[in-house]
Amino acid sequence: MSRPITLFTGQWADLPLETLAQKAKSFGYDGLELACWGDHFNVTQAQDKAYCDGRHALLAEHGLKTWAISAHLVGQAVCDVIDERHKAILPEHVWGEGKPKEVQKRAAEELIKTAYAAKNLGVKVVNGFTGSKIWSLLYSFPPVSDAQIEDGYADFANRWNPILDEFKKAGVCFALEVHPTEIAFDIVSAERALQALNHRPEFGFNYDPSHLGYQGVDYVKFIQKFGDRIYHAHMKDVHWSSQLTEAGVFGGHTKFGDPRRFWEFRSLGRGSVNFEEIIRALNQVNYQGPLSVEWEDIGMDREHGATEAAAFLRKLNFIPSKVAFDAAFDRK
């Protein structure tokens, strides 16, 4: 059986879940990856299993299932240096009065609740972000000391190990979407994040090639290197220019859609990512989880894009052969 094709609901949180479920089925999806914002999945209410049963029932009415939930927004606040930007993305009960240490503490508590919410829902993966104390030190001037970077990874481990202890108790894994602004944003930093946690199995990755390719990171090698740690997979495309541009990889403080940019998220199959090579690599590492479309393209209607993305992925979602193609020539 081929992997289920799902739609991540984060970019659709303006719609009630019932409305989106009906649309997603008509778009061609097998299920939804539920975002823990909007009305799609409420972590507090999900401490009651009856609420989770109700989410399943709602999806089932439209012929859909769910395999994962996503807590990107709250996860970002666990390790970040908190400022006014976080107020816009966090639930009011996590933001509180906005005092940074208290926000970080409440974000960690919310992540722990999310693990048990996932358990009640019957899913094994919570996708999300971690934030990073050291993202602002990305470019090494003024010179950044090794001790500062080491402190950043130690801070990550100190904050996330207690969270992951609860994930372990709940029988759920956390999958970091490797992404700029996170503690892991490429292959090298992903290795270091695993090392900081002593490779504990509760922590892995939500694979997303769109955040790797435009940086110049080998997004197929990421699968080959971390195959046993890919707990979920986002399918999202990105275009990067073959020409020199006015705003480079760092974006020049431009907004999405600015023609001066070097890169831009695109609807699946319309960017620079080679998805056939990704599917082949996922087959090689025996990834059996969902292929979840995270749809983003500022230049396209989202319903048109989500529909064609499902069809595009359906064609590529092949399973590996169980026999060698030349076995027919074996006369033994």
Contact (CB, 8 A) for 31 and 64? yes
Which among 51, 71, 155 has a CA at the least distance from the CA of 112? 71
DSSP 143-154: PPPHHHHHHHHH
Q: Write down how long the chain is.
A: 332
Q: Within 13 Å of residue 6, how many CA atoms lie on the same side as its CB? A: 25
Residue 319 confidence class, pLDDT cut points 50, 70, 90:
confident
- Whether the full predicted model's pTM is greater than 0.85, yes or no, is yes
User: Per-residue pLDDT tens for 152-163?
Assistant: 999 999 999 999
Q: Where are the beta strands (DSSP E) in the chain?
A: 5-8, 31-35, 68-70, 125-128, 173-176, 203-207, 230-235, 237-240, 263-266, 291-293
Domains and their CATH numbers in the chain: 5-321 (3.20.20.150)
What mean pLDDT do residues 135-164 have? Answer: 97
pLDDT of residue 332: 61
pLDDT band at 94 (very low <50, low <70, confident <90, very high): very high
- Output the pLDDT for position 326: 60
Q: What is the pLDDT of residues 1-48, one digit of tens each?
A: 589 999 999 999 999 999 999 999 999 999 999 999 999 999 999 999
Question: CA 63 to CA 195: how far, in whole Å?
Answer: 41
Q: How far apart are CA 86 and CA 95, in angstroms?
A: 8
Does the pLDDT at position 325 exceed 70?
no
Q: Which tens digits make up the pLDDT trace of 41-85?
A: 999 999 999 999 999 999 999 999 999 999 999 999 999 999 999
> Which tens digit of pLDDT belongs to each residue from 176-233?
999 999 999 999 999 999 999 999 999 999 999 999 999 999 999 999 999 999 999 9
In the chain, % of residues over pLDDT 90: 95
pLDDT band at 318 (very low <50, low <70, confident <90, very high): confident
